[in-house]
Amino acid sequence: MSHDSTAAPDAAARKLSGRRRKEIVAVLLFSGGPIFESSIPLSVFGIDRQDAGVPRYRLLVCAGEEGPLRTTGGLELTAPHGLEAISRAGTVVVPAWRSITSPPPEEALDALRRAHEEGARIVGLCTGAFVLAAAGLLDGRPATTHWMYAPTLAKRYPSVHVDPRELFVDDGDVLTSAGTAAGIDLCLHIVRTDHGNEAAGALARRLVVPPRRSGGQERYLDRSLPEEIGADPLAEVVAWALEHLHEQFDVETLAARAYMSRRTFDRRFRSLTGSAPLQWLITQRVLQAQRLLETSDYSVDEVAGRCGFRSPVALRGHFRRQLGSSPAAYRAAYRARRPQAERAVEAESAPGPVGPPPSVHQEHPGPVPMQTRRTAAAGALGAAALSGEALRERPERPELYVAGRPSLPGQRSAP
């Protein structure tokens, strides 16, 4: 999916200051940053691949603070340039930030602000979005980051419109991506924007990656999130909701269990997750429906009942809005794309029909240990950001990248 950002027209009209060059890309590194994320823009923009039809960029690797810079595995890096080199770049990339809880160096933030004021394109990959947000460059803008950190970004910077469904967001002169591999997606998008589809395709072939990926972050959601979310007292209410998704209850029920008024509960829930509780609840029911469609033989009507939807019609409507597919089509696509050998192994090893854990199948599941409940609640609070109030109908697309999944919402970008 493509998104015409409202900020894009203004961004497109901006011009670089005289000392900056469009072909120069500065990559800003910090100590403690993960080496894989840091290496992505270095590989994309720092290697001469003109023999393959990829236009050459000029790369400046800049230290965002005093070195040496320590990275994954205890490696030490020495950047050839300091912050002063950013003044020559038409694009500045922050590939990652070492901690979502600590503030970036003020000198680096000042350099990013100056670069943006002088017309440079600013890019944040994965947790690099936290650096851009700290510099104030994401205020009032759409942005994304790794789904695991999206609730924290939304909570810490409420003026940022965090959309963790996307692989990347292009808002014209400020761009952000989700975690790790999504950084490659965004870098390819930048090459495509600068030099066209042919150049981006040639680079993708050299990197042995698809030139475009369909789908968003929903498919990668799991049950682990930062402890600061899982330890919140509201997590107890979330744990209860997860255990009772097979029942029909609403947000008023959750507010009552939290001993709060509906208005207070809405405000508290939104401050914690960046999402409205109703949208979170719908998303959890849809995620549960996904699991049952993938792992059980229940009919769509039965799945609707076991996920707390009042009718199969309600399930179909919410499922299509969130995933761009009907439940039946989702199940068919999932089963058709699972490797035949994998299905054969499951059939041999399973004593009975393949399905989710017994507690999911039971009409009245038994008690769940408190530690398990807290872990599940932490993951579910992160999934809140995957719902959002702006869920909208998206067209189905035939192209796929990850085997075993139907097409899901993908990335959005300026034209």
Give the chain's end-to-end CA distance (angstroms, integer).
11
Question: What pTM does this model have?
Answer: 0.61
Read off φ and ψ for residue 38, nearest 5 degrees: -65, -30
- Burial category of 362 from C-beta neighbours within 10 Å (exposed 0-12, middle 13-18, buried 19 and up): exposed
The mean of the pLDDT values for the chain is 78
Rounded to whole angstroms, the Cα distance separating 78 from 62 reads: 9
pLDDT in tens, 148-191: 788 788 888 988 988 877 889 999 999 999 988 899 999 999 99
DSSP conformational letter for 412: B
Residues 6+ apart with CB under 8 A from 186: 123, 125, 167, 168, 170, 175, 176, 177
Residues 6+ apart with CB under 8 A from 336: none
What is the pLDDT confidence band of residue 243, given thresholds at 50, 70 and 90? Answer: confident
Looking at 42-46, 69-73, 130-134, 381-385, which range is the least confident one? 381-385
Can you tell me whether residue 94 is helix, strand or coil?
strand
What is the pLDDT confidence band of residue 53, given thresholds at 50, 70 and 90? Answer: confident
Rounded to whole angstroms, the Cα distance separating 123 from 26 reads: 10
Rounded to whole angstroms, the Cα distance separating 145 from 313 reads: 33
DSSP H or E segment with residue 151: helix 150-156
pLDDT in tens, 332-343: 888 876 655 455
Read off φ and ψ for residue 212, nearest 5 degrees: -140, 140
DSSP H or E segment with residue 317: helix 312-323
Amino acid symbol at 140: G
Looking at 19-33, 280-294, 337-351, which range is the least confident one? 337-351
Strand 168-170 and strand 161-162: the pairing is: unpaired
Could you tell me what percent of the chain has a pLDDT over 70? 72
Q: How many residues does the chain have?
A: 415
Q: Is the pLDDT of residue 50 over 50?
A: yes
Can you tell me whether residue 34 is helix, strand or coil?
coil
How far is the CA of 352 from the CAs of 296, 331, 332, 355, 364, in angstroms?
Answer: 11, 20, 21, 9, 21
What is the pLDDT confidence band of residue 230, given thresholds at 50, 70 and 90? Answer: low
